[in-house]
Amino acid sequence: MDVPLIAGTVATVAFAVSNLPMLGKALRTRDVSSYSVSSLGMINAANVVYSLYVFSLPVGPIWALHTFYLVSCAIMLVLCVGQRRAASRRNRREGAVTPRGRGAGRSRGARAWSGVLRLGRAAP
């Protein structure tokens, strides 16, 4: 019995399964407005560089886990960029002005909670 291989396999399955709810919800709802495009871009860039190391190792559970991360992070980035582009096109078409100043780019709920945290009062 190869204990490190079994441990790696169990960890791979646990990490992948822990990401499935987030990925499933993003694919189902297509709502990734709470994700940062720059963060997802950096994660994908790091995954590509890390691939140089991972795929130089012998085939094993780490290959499966890293491939899962590569694919799931790429899907999240594509959804996020697509959603932002669609919103931008919609705003231009409708002549809407994008919000500027304090709270710009955050959801209404995030702006409300920042007011609660900043002022110690109830959200509007």
Instruction: Let me know: does 47 contact 69? Beta carbons within 8 Å.
Output: yes
Q: 43-49: which pairs have CB atoms within 8 A and are 24 or more residues apart?
A: 43/73, 43/77, 44/73, 44/74, 44/77, 47/73
Does residue 113 register a pLDDT over 80? no
The label of the residue with tokens 């955050």 reads 106
Residue 18 banded pLDDT, cuts 50, 70, 90? confident
What is the pTM (predicted TM-score) of this model? 0.62
Tens-digit pLDDT profile for residues 31-60: 888 888 888 899 899 989 999 999 999 998
